[in-house]
Amino acid sequence: MLGPPQGAVGWGRHDVTTFLVIGVVGLALLLVSLVVGDLFDGAFDALTGDVFSSAVIGAFVAATGFGAAAAQPALGTVLALPVGAVTGVAFAWFAWWLTRLLADGSSDATPGIDDTVGRDGKVVTPVPEGGFGVVDVLVGGHVLRLNARADHPIEPGTPVHVTGVLSPTAVTVAPVWPELT
């Protein structure tokens, strides 16, 4: 059976239970902040950054409680507290970094005409020689319907390859050649 190390102060089951309860409270705060949003929105506006967001505070409290509970049987209560605090700071920093990454991360940009070059599409309306037809091109999960010009007439339903950009709404296309077997 494991026992306290020589000279350990404050050995007891109640200390571990207390640390576990602190960890569960912090974990609950973290989970609620992830589902509901920042619980302290506006409470710490005088401080810059998101250092005191509910996700960061929840991560700090949870990691402090669980870190101290893990260290307490081996080190005793007095030394478990700083171990828990260091663990809490590390996890709070990670939560802050992760929330900043998510907040600052831009979503995928709306695809533009320049993103169509090199993509395959399909002719919607006939592309006459020297005139414009319409093609659909799939870019990043978005279907772009564009005017298209080609060197030779192309019938609707024909797969095409975008070869260049003529204007913000028009491209040049060429038929896709069937694979040689």
Of all helices (H) and strands (E), which one includes residue 64?
helix 54-75
How far apart (Å, rounded) are the C-alpha atoms in residues 27 and 37?
14
Claim: this prediction has a pTM higher than 0.75: no
Interior/surface letters 46-66, b for 16+ CB within 10 angstroms, e for the rest: eeeebebbbbbbbbbbbbbbb
pLDDT in tens, the chain (181 residues): 455 555 555 445 667 888 888 888 888 887 787 777 665 555 554 455 556 777 888 889 999 888 888 888 888 888 888 999 999 999 888 888 887 777 665 556 677 888 889 899 999 999 998 889 999 998 877 889 999 999 889 999 999 999 999 999 999 999 988 766 6
Please report, for the chain, the start and end positions of each structural domain, with discontinuous segments joined by +.
13-104, 113-175
In CATH terms, the superfamily for domain 113-175 is Nucleic acid-binding proteins (2.40.50.140)
